Amino acid sequence: MNKEDIKKEIITAIKKVKKENPMAPSITNTVTINFVANTQLAAGGSAAMVYLPDEGETVATIANAVYINVGTLFPIYEKTLPRTAKKLQELGKNWVLDPVAVGIGELRGKLLSDFKENRPPIIRGNASEIIALANLWNLLENQEKSKVRGVDSTETVSEAKRAAIAICKYTKGAVSVSGEVDLITDGNYLAYSHGGSKLFSKITGAGCALGGLSAVYACCASPFIAALSACQAFNFSGSNAEKIAKGPASFQTAFLDVLYSATAEEIANNNFDFEKIEN
């Protein structure tokens, strides 16, 4: 597999999403549901937000991929999330786990710990969250201290590389680490997606929307291609939206407009590096 092959797969995935309008339901952060849904719609997908245990199992059955984000938890999620993840695993469906603020709170810790047995095909988080999750799942020979601060990362993407690869080796899926340059890996290959905008840090829900977009592409592509396609789409749209935005509010609107009008070729040709991991 080389860079040109990857570009072709990204183009295929994005065109398929625009043609088929796949639904990628979410159980997600209540602070960001609007931006998550609008991002999924702008990319050509369809959105649905669910909360109850039977709803989670139902969408796991009817959708090709689901997005699970633990950003804001309700007591009912102690039933909803495990039942949804279990059903997704039983059916062999793609799903995206966003381990927001891992390490904060008893229920969050229990849910994220239990997700280990369901092996999420795609995991998206910032560097601190990815390191913390690898530690929680005991996947690192030497535990690395992670300084999770709410939804913010205090580590760099490069510092999370070892943890991301370790998670992939266990899940046989993909990990996407968000940062100034996004890292995407499946344990065999590494991709670094460039672009984006500093204005992403000035709006609520950029990371959540990226997770939701990853789920949309996961309806039509492998975990690695889906995660990379989402980062490429985000970084292309973010960098171009910044050029016409006057501030955070207009940036969010411009981002959705650029994502909506971007071609598969433009997204695939966004600057990224690609390399094979030498074992």
Binding-site members for ATP are 124, 178
What is the four-CA torsion angle of 74, 78, 83, 84, rounded to 10 degrees? 30
pLDDT at 1: 84
Is 70 exceeded by the pLDDT of residue 146? no
- Helix, strand or coil, per DSSP, at residue 149: strand
pLDDT at position 148 over 60:
no
- Out of 31-45, 145-159, 224-238, 262-276, which region has the weakest mean confidence (pLDDT)? 145-159
User: Nearest 5°: phi and psi at 273?
Assistant: -105, 150
pLDDT in tens, 8-37: 999 999 999 999 999 999 999 999 999 999
pLDDT tens digits for range 243-253: 999 999 999 99
Known binding-site residue numbers for substrate: 49, 205
C-alpha 265/C-alpha 171 separation (Å) is 30
Of all residues in the chain, what percent carry a pLDDT higher than 90?
91
Instruction: Sort residue 269 into left (φ over 0), alpha (ψ -120 to 50) or beta.
Output: alpha
Per-residue confidence band for 269, with pLDDT thresholds at 50, 70 and 90: very high
185-219 tens-digit pLDDT: 999 999 999 999 999 999 999 999 999 999 999 99
Percent pLDDT > 70 in the chain is 95
Average pLDDT, the chain: 94
pLDDT of amino acid 143: 60
- Going by C-alpha positions, the residue among 21, 38, 30 that lies closest to residue 252 is 38
**Apex 47 CA angle, 264 and 36, nearest 5:** 75
**Average pLDDT score over residue span 130-144:** 87
Question: Span 49-63, mean pLDDT?
Answer: 96
Instruction: Evaluate if residue 152 carries a pLDDT over 70.
Output: no
pLDDT for 239 beyond 90: yes
Res 277: pLDDT: 92
Q: Where would I find the H helices in 21-155?
A: 33-42, 53-62, 77-91, 106-114, 127-136
Residue 151 has pLDDT above 80, yes or no: no
Residue 56: name the closest of 34, 32, 36, 86 by CA: 86
| Joined tokens for residue 27 | 């159980």
- Tell me the per-residue pLDDT of 71-110, one tens digit each, with 9 for 90 and over: 999 999 999 999 999 999 999 999 999 999 898 889 999 9
How many Cα atoms occupy the beta-carbon half-sphere of 9 within 13 Å? 19
pLDDT average, residue stretch 125-131: 95
Token pair 């279990």 in the structure block, residue = 86
Asked if pLDDT for residue 149 goes beyond 50, the answer is: no
User: For residues 62 and 70, what is the distance between their CA atoms, to the nearest angstrom?
Assistant: 22
Q: What is the reported pTM?
A: 0.94
- pLDDT for res 155: 83
pLDDT band at 144 (very low <50, low <70, confident <90, very high): low
Q: Is the pLDDT of residue 150 over 50?
A: no
Q: What is the pLDDT of residue 278?
A: 85
Q: Binding-site residues, please?
A: 49, 124, 178, 205
